[in-house]
Structure 1
Amino acid sequence: MNSEPSQRVLHEAASRGLRALAADERCRSAFTAPGSVLQDILSPAARRYVLAADRDEFLGHLAVLREKSYGITVEFVGEENSDPAQIEQVVQEYLSVLAHDPVPGQLGFDLSNVGLTVSRELALENSARIVEAAAAKGCEVVLSMERSPAVDAVLGVYRDLAERYENVGITLQAHLYRSEQDIAAVARPGRRVRLVKGAFQEPADVALGRGPALDARYLRFAEQLVDAGVRLSLATQDPEMLAQAKASGLLSRVDEIEMLHGVRPSLLREYRDAGFACRIYATYGENWWLHLLHRLAEHPPMVLTALADLADRGERTVGAGY
């Protein structure tokens, strides 16, 4: 009998390891330290997933992706933030993006990066500033979802915003057991919901692990959401799930397919060429530790690509593969 683990089992274990590494406070502290060696060494690998370090370069790169007929979501990468000055800097960054012409069609951000670690009230106030400015420019805002202890606070801020603004949407994580109830609470005709599997490492009694059961749950939730009239962003890089969604007819009912920039661009191009609306979730900034590790965890074989990127520190061609 072959005792070697299957490729799927190996990839799932590698994904758990990468997510654990992303959350390791020792690594995160080493990454943010002044003159960080870790940041310098890994930056060539991060450039595959983070379009640029600064806003002007990033906004210039977006034109290349727009010309290829993709929708674009913009995020200024960051982590949990409790410093008032840095929080305000993040808010101003989004307001500056909205002042740019052409205006991005959609923004995405974590509430923990705009004040949630300080208070729910501050997160609501800052989010409202961004959402209101976005509404004036015809731009949509989709709030990201965070680790399970923060879900109630994120949903609370979302509900308050949704009462006042039509251009705000929410991300839901299929792996959380509670998401069954959360879907029933937020699914409203015409509202935007971004459905993901879930990026964070969670306790076994809180979330379902990666595997066939989660895949089936994800597709079932997607069916429920479109049945409720939600404008659904099917946010996944999993080719098997997309194939199942296409075969069942679900893919023709969702609003769009969304993938993170740099993760399986040829797969997204395949669906764009087949006539499906496709979106690239694009990021910029320098605080990319979590973002890089979570992107590798989405498809662990990309670790080999990341190692190759470390050996090739040259400029990357924007839009390659798309």
Structure 2
Amino acid sequence: MLRDTLLYLSQHDGLRNFALSNRTARNFSHRFVAGEQLSDSIEVTRTLNQQGLSVALDHLGENVTDAREARAATEDYIRALECIKESGLDANISIKLTALGLDIAQELCEENLRRLLSEAGRLGIFVCIDMESSAYTERTIDLTLRLHREFAQVGTVIQAYLYRSKDDLERLLQEGVRVRLVKGAYKEPPDLAFPQKAEVDANYVRLMGMLLARGNFPAIATHDEAMITAACRFARDHGISRDAFEFQMLYGIRRDLQERLAREGYHVRVYVPYGSQWYPYLMRRLAERPANLMFVLSNLWR
């Protein structure tokens, strides 16, 4: 019930507008968001690199309804690519198709995405297409598969809580697409997604085995130590090198675990979001993990 409530609030326009203009809420967001400017995220990336951690930069923003906003988002992503290259950072980027105009027109989104991938290819930087709600899953998979034949440096995300994910993952594996595996952070109906956490966890482990055995440098994105232990055991038992995959975790969550895995010789990439549209992202993070909510509430009480 708490998770459902937080996911509902993540889409509440009134609360979003209040949070974005509230200094206390903005200060709390800095636990999970690098800042509102690209320069903030570059400084955070530099610090994480010094700790032996790679980074995936995400310029927050989604579901744009104006073509000019979609083109501006494309320019923002390209600036991030240029800054990564100029600064010599160990980082790539994650993007959302609705930020590039998918809600406006498929053609507009593809035009912006092609431009972005062309620049990423020139600079030699990987681009991960984030997975949004199930309303976009089919289009995201199809577009990724089609463009991967032209741009080898593009990959996408599979959400373990969707029933369809095994079939989607199979299609991506056959084409050699890089995949990040997550549990899923959107509110989905029970006819599309596993309703129970235990079912999601079991499907995550199944998909994780497929990825580790057959994937192209897959990303195991989780803070769940049971899932991480299962991944390490599977890799060890099947003779899979630690250089063949990476763990991914969110900025501000389980920093101790990130650093420990890096010390043990695993590749660890931290997902670092930045930008002014941090409210929906933050609410989904609180919904995913009760400990995040307790962190915010304890700071609010103090």
- TM-score, scaled relative to structure 2: 0.91
In structure 2, how many angstroms separate the alpha carbons of the residues matched to 1:57 and 1:170?
A: 25
In structure 1, how many angstroms separate the alpha carbons of the residues matched to 2:154 and 2:164?
A: 22
CA contact (8 A) 1:109 1:144 kept: yes
In structure 2, how many angstroms separate the alpha carbons of the residues matched to 1:27 and 1:63?
A: 33
Moved more, 239-248 or 65-74: 239-248
Partner of 1:164: 150
Correspondence for 1:277 among 267, 270, 279: 267
Residue 293 of structure 2 corresponds to residue 303 of structure 1: yes
Residue 80 of structure 2 corresponds to residue 97 of structure 1: yes
Equivalent residue letter for 2:280: L
Superposition map of 1:85-234 within 5 A: 85-100=68-83, 101-102=86-87, 104=89, 105-188=91-174, 190-234=176-220
CA root-mean-square deviation = 2.0
In structure 2, how many angstroms separate the alpha carbons of the residues matched to 1:66 and 1:311?
A: 33
Partner of 1:27: 15
Moved more, 245-254 or 42-51: 245-254
Shift of 1:31: 4.8
CA contact (8 A) 2:131 2:137 kept: yes
Superposition map of 1:43-82 within 5 A: 43-82=26-65
Shift of 1:142: 0.5
Q: Judging by fraction of residues, say which structure has more helix.
A: 2
CA contact (8 A) 2:145 2:177 kept: no
Percent identity of paired positions between Structure 1 and Structure 2: 27
Partner of 1:40: 23
CA contact (8 A) 2:40 2:274 kept: no
Shift of 1:85: 2.0
In structure 1, how many angstroms separate the alpha carbons of the residues matched to 2:129 and 2:267?
A: 21
Moved more, 170-179 or 188-197: 188-197
1:225-254 CA-to-partner distances (Å, cap 9, x unmatched) read 233233210011111211222233369555
In structure 2, how many angstroms separate the alpha carbons of the residues matched to 1:279 and 1:264?
A: 13
Equivalent residue letter for 1:132: S
Equivalent residue letter for 2:192: V
Shift of 1:135: 1.1
In structure 2, how many angstroms separate the alpha carbons of the residues matched to 1:84 and 1:250?
A: 48
Shift of 1:69: 1.0
* Structure 1 unmatched runs, 5+: 1-12, 313-322
Partner of 1:15: 3
CA contact (8 A) 1:189 1:229 kept: no
